[in-house]
Amino acid sequence: TVHPLVLFMPSGKRGRFPVGTPVLEAARRLGVYVESVCGGRATCGRCQVAVQEGNFAKHGIVSSDDHLSPVGPKEEHYDRVRGLPEGRRLSCSALILGDLVIDVPQDTVINAQVVRKAADERVFDRNAAIRMCYVEVEEPDMEKPLGDLDRLKSALSHDWHFDDLDVDFHLIPKVQSILRKGEWKVTAAIHKDREDGRPRLIALYPGLKNEAYGIACDIGSTTIAMHLSSLLSGRTVASSGTSNPQIRFGEDLMSRVSYVMMNPDGREAMTAAVREALNGLIDKVCVEGGISRADILDSVFVGNPIMHHLFLGIDPTELGGAPFALAVSGAVKVRSSEIGLSMNEGTRTYMLPCIAGHVGADAAAATLSEGPHRQDEMMLLVDIGTNAEIVLGNRTRVIAASSPTGPAFEGAEISSGQRAAAGAIERVRIDPVTLEPRFRVIGVEQWSDEPGFADAAAATGVTGICGSGIIEVIAEMYLAGIISEDGVVDGSLAGRSPRIVASGRTFSYLLHDGEPRITVTQNDVRAIQLAKAALYAGVKLLMDKQGVTQVDRIGLAGAFGTFIDPKYAMVLGLIPDCDLEKVKAVGNAAGTGARMCLLNREYRREIEETVRKIDKIETALEPRFQEHFVAAMAVPNKVDAFPHLSA
């Protein structure tokens, strides 16, 4: 006899199963991930599926073309008490009677308060490191002197096949009261993410507990962003962000390393500061998500190498100079309470691996999210901060490096530079004939030459110029002929336009004649030239190593990448020539990668494996870096052409 064919969507996995097989079991055998907390007792409701094709018997009467068993008494009880949405069945109770196409619902990400503009709303396959397992434990018996914990372990082994279970010690003093409180029915949180494959009991709840949460967090040197997700539905239930309190010890990474070197308690102070901020964020997302800290059972963190070290309590001094040795490059797994985070007592923290001394766990997470290693196209991934982290590769080979761009792109070292905040000029256009500018300011809707601008801008003022504004104004100055290919402000234009003003022996461009006066000076242009040349030279080195003269796709990560206009980045020669359609801001790709690792531990293995295989280049040691750097000082470049710009 030919058994019925069952196809699971959206994975497309399929197989034939004997009539009467529970759908959940078929899913398990095919490796389709369907959650179940109660172990098929039809009480948790986590295993819901929908039927896309084929019929299913909802109540009692079975007709010959019903392909799924009618709703039995247990499922009916669940429906009565908790309510099954229209068209849904409990896969643990529904039995296969004929050919079927089953939809495994992927609860969509509902993310009302998005931390960053470009939060990723992709939905990922789930296979969290935490499983919630409901069991009914045998009551104690004078005849069988087995301990409460041991009877719990044997129930978990019998119902869930967790053998050789390790138990967190903190649970042992509590086991008796929890078992009695739940009248011998409990839900065990099992953590399984160890190299040896051994599962570990990390939390225990009386009765049925069918929720578990986790946090994914990106520790940036400027901003920390955290997402709270349900480990069972995959849904992001809360997001929050805060500025990194380490800023008070030093604006950029290197000044934080120097702070550690100069102050005996510097490392401790910065570690304490970031952990305190993280605990504050944990509180915030818990309040927003309406849960308690103890409900957080897993956590994933990413950050650049220096943030990574300071968070884990490791001295980052070695990262301040060659050979930039990391204390640990592989993934770090630690009990969260050991690093001062307050969640559930048994919660574990997973920190992604670092790629190299300057290319951190954040770059690894961005790589996981954007997946150059999963595609044929040659993809360039750039995260621009004080250091640009650069990854270039495809399915065959991935290479990574960092380039010392300095803080100019973040508005530092620029005469009127500021962080991207209300009042900052973020967009600029310059009329090539009159050389008159028009611009847009963060927090104001109108362009500067539109009616109502003055009134609207009165609230914020026009306070300075942020990273994306600097890129645009210098690119526009180049397009309008105000600066030469070498970046020199053309003083001969001073007679033609009052916007070109002498300052000492050089000239500046007057962008905003108000209070404060905002000018782009010759030094500003130089600072951007140096930064973009460093970035481009790093990219070129990687292209050399890959043996390519062209990249197929570019992802710009991070806040800066989100706000710059790819066209202007290319006009300036910040990034290599590429089809503009294929240059995309990828938002907080690092945060997305962290969330992927939270929801599916297979992504942890994927990135660990990928990072091991990534070739690391130390730009400072490469003889051709200098050559590329010099060529890239010109706008857009002395030697490389940008055919996609003229197109």
Binding site for ligand FES (CB under 6 A): 36-38, 40, 42-47, 90, 92
Residue 84 or 327: the one with the smaller Cβ distance to ligand FES is: 84
Cα(210)–Cα(43) distance, integer angstroms: 9
Owner of token pair 């247990």: 74
Residue 36 or 221: the one with the smaller Cβ distance to ligand FES is: 36
Q: Is 554 helix (H, G, I), strand (E, B) or coil?
A: strand
- Inter-residue contact 161 to 199 (CB < 8 Å): no
State in angstroms the smallest separation of the CB of 29 from ligand FES: 16
Beta bridge partners of 188: 133, 204
State in angstroms the smallest separation of the CB of 39 from ligand FES: 6
Here the tokens at position 189 are 């949180």
State in angstroms the smallest separation of the CB of 312 from ligand FES: 38
Pairing type for strands 14-16 and 48-53 reads unpaired
State in angstroms the smallest separation of the CB of 45 from ligand FES: 5
∠143-149-155 over CA atoms, to 5°?
A: 80
Residue 205 or 311: the one with the smaller Cβ distance to ligand FES is: 205
- Inter-residue contact 182 to 134 (CB < 8 Å): no
Q: Is 387 helix (H, G, I), strand (E, B) or coil?
A: coil
From residue 455, how far is each of 122, 447, 463 by CA, in Å? 40, 12, 15
- Inter-residue contact 489 to 505 (CB < 8 Å): no
Radius of gyration for the chain, computed over Cα atoms and rounded to the nearest angstrom = 29
Residue 90 or 559: the one with the smaller Cβ distance to ligand FES is: 90
Nearest Cα to Cα of residue 476 among 577, 572, 579 = 572
Residue 36 or 344: the one with the smaller Cβ distance to ligand FES is: 36
Owner of token pair 């069945």: 89
Nearest Cα to Cα of residue 80 among 42, 129, 110 = 42
State in angstroms the smallest separation of the CB of 106 from ligand FES: 17
State in angstroms the smallest separation of the CB of 347 from ligand FES: 24
From residue 283, how far is each of 239, 276, 336 by CA, in Å? 11, 11, 15
Residue 92 or 254: the one with the smaller Cβ distance to ligand FES is: 92
Residue 76 or 618: the one with the smaller Cβ distance to ligand FES is: 76
State in angstroms the smallest separation of the CB of 75 from ligand FES: 8
Here the tokens at position 81 are 């008490």
Residue 71 or 92: the one with the smaller Cβ distance to ligand FES is: 92
State in angstroms the smallest separation of the CB of 46 from ligand FES: 5
Cα(467)–Cα(418) distance, integer angstroms: 8
State in angstroms the smallest separation of the CB of 236 from ligand FES: 23
Residue 88 or 348: the one with the smaller Cβ distance to ligand FES is: 88
Handedness of CA 365, 369, 374, 378 (dihedral sign): negative
- Inter-residue contact 200 to 267 (CB < 8 Å): no
State in angstroms the smallest separation of the CB of 38 from ligand FES: 4
State in angstroms the smallest separation of the CB of 235 from ligand FES: 18
Here the tokens at position 288 are 């927003």
Cα(573)–Cα(539) distance, integer angstroms: 11
State in angstroms the smallest separation of the CB of 599 from ligand FES: 19
* Phi, psi (degrees; rounded to nearest 5) at 481: 80, 15
Residue 22 or 346: the one with the smaller Cβ distance to ligand FES is: 22
Cα(402)–Cα(389) distance, integer angstroms: 4
Question: Cβ contacts of residue 205 below 8 Å, gap of 6+?
Answer: 178, 182, 186, 187, 188, 189
Residue 43 or 336: the one with the smaller Cβ distance to ligand FES is: 43
> CA-CA-CA-CA torsion for 527, 407, 389, 590, nearest 10 degrees?
-140
State in angstroms the smallest separation of the CB of 57 from ligand FES: 17
From residue 133, how far is each of 41, 171, 235, 483, 523 by CA, in Å? 11, 16, 20, 67, 63
Residue 26 or 37: the one with the smaller Cβ distance to ligand FES is: 37
Find how far residue 220's CA is from the centre of its chain: 11
Residue 127 or 258: the one with the smaller Cβ distance to ligand FES is: 127
State in angstroms the smallest separation of the CB of 210 from ligand FES: 8
- Inter-residue contact 338 to 567 (CB < 8 Å): no
- Inter-residue contact 570 to 583 (CB < 8 Å): yes
Residue 132 or 543: the one with the smaller Cβ distance to ligand FES is: 132
Residue 56 or 536: the one with the smaller Cβ distance to ligand FES is: 56
Sequence letter at residue 479: L
State in angstroms the smallest separation of the CB of 49 from ligand FES: 10
Pairing type for strands 236-243 and 223-230 reads antiparallel
- Inter-residue contact 352 to 361 (CB < 8 Å): yes
Residue 345 DSSP one-character state: T
Here the tokens at position 46 are 């986590």
